């Protein structure tokens, strides 16, 4: 008979801080902390997988005694979230949400089955045109003189700089909404979203609209689990330091939190 494998998870959604969790894992495994940062990010709140029962129980105990409550769970209970479907808008109805475009899902997604509201802030590079080196009048005269002496045409148009200007970034907010029935995950790019579902409460600034939308979702679906990012936005706090560098990190966090929800731990 094949041995049942186990995973180790953080119990509390508020406990995931990348550095803190990596330090706790390093102490439990007696390894350098920097060696475990990448694997900690890869698993997010799922800290270890495919362990024997004894290994999983020991690691969960070591983490719990260090101040990070953890548990061992059978590997086959770890959730695999559905792929995220981007939406551009929604309608908020008394019984549920209608996604736009309807090609994502044509019916009503019930508030009672909304399991997870997960918000993150990433950095998005600002697109800007490179500056131009415009020749001065003296440079133009020198170029004309060289052209007459050598007989070779010389470019008089402004040339792009040899080194590109340093990249600049803007915050980019994303929100994932996950349902258990039907099994679906919607993704909102908050700067490309139509907030007309807020009706008269819609403002001119996307972050303010996002906070109003999250407050609506919390009121309409009180059983839904909110991640640390959604809590921070609702409370007017910064999302800096939560550890998200990419949408893949958001996928990993959803996997962990949906597992906690399915185990009725959150």
237-249 pLDDT per residue, tens: 888 778 788 999 9
Answer yes or no: are the C-beta atoms of 231 and 124 closer than 8 Å.
Answer: no
Tokens matching residue 105: 């899902």
CATH number of 6-77: 3.30.1390
- Fold adopted by 84-124+170-254: PH-domain like (2.30.29)
**122-148 burial code (b ≥16 CB/10 A, e <16):** beeeeeeeeeeeebeeeeeeeeeeeee
Q: Which pTM value belongs to this model?
A: 0.81
pLDDT of res. 38: 85
Q: Which residues pair with 173 in a beta bridge?
A: 121
Q: Where are the domains of the chain?
A: 6-77, 84-124+170-254, 129-159
Angle in degrees, CA 116, 121, 127, rounded to 5: 135
- The model's confidence at residue 144, banded by pLDDT at 50, 70 and 90, is low
Answer yes or no: are the C-beta atoms of 114 and 222 closer than 8 Å.
Answer: no
Please give the Cα distance from 40 to 253 (Å, whole number).
Answer: 11
pLDDT of res. 177: 98
**For residue 159, pLDDT beyond 80:** no
Residues sharing a CB contact under 8 Å with residue 228, sequence separation 6 or more, in sequence order? 13, 14, 16, 242
């Amino acid at each position: 008979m094949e041995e049942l494998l186990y995973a180790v998870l953080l119990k509390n959604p508020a406990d995931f801080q990348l550095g803190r969790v990596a330090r706790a894992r390093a102490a439990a495994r007696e390894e350098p902390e920097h060696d475990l940062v990448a694997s900690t990010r890869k698993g997010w709140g799922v800290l270890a997988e495919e362990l024997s029962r004894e290994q999983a129980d020991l690691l969960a105990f070591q983490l719990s005694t260090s101040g990070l409550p953890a548990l061992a769970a059978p590997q086959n209970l770890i959730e695999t979230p559905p792929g995220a479907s981007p939406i551009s808008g929604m309608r908020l109805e008394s019984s549920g949400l209608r996604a736009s475009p309807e090609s994502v899902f044509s019916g009503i997604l019930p508030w009672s089955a909304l399991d997870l509201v997960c918000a993150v802030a990433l950095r998005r590079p600002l697109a800007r045109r490179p500056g131009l080196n415009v020749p001065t009048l003296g440079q133009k005269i020198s170029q004309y003189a060289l052209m007459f002496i050598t007989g070779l045409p010389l470019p008089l148009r402004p040339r792009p700089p040899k080194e590109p200007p340093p990249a600049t970034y803007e915050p980019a907010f994303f929100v994932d909404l996950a349902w258990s029935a039907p099994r679906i995950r919607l993704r909102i790019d908050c700067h490309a979203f139509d907030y007309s579902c807020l009706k008269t409460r819609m403002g001119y600034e996307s972050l303010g609209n996002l906070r109003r939308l999250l407050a609506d979702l919390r009121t309409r679906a009180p059983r839904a689990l909110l991640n640390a990012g959604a809590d921070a936005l609702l409370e007017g706090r910064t999302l800096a330091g939560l550890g998200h560098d990419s949408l893949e990190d958001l996928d990993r966090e959803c996997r962990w939190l949906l597992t906690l929800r399915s185990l009725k731990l959150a």
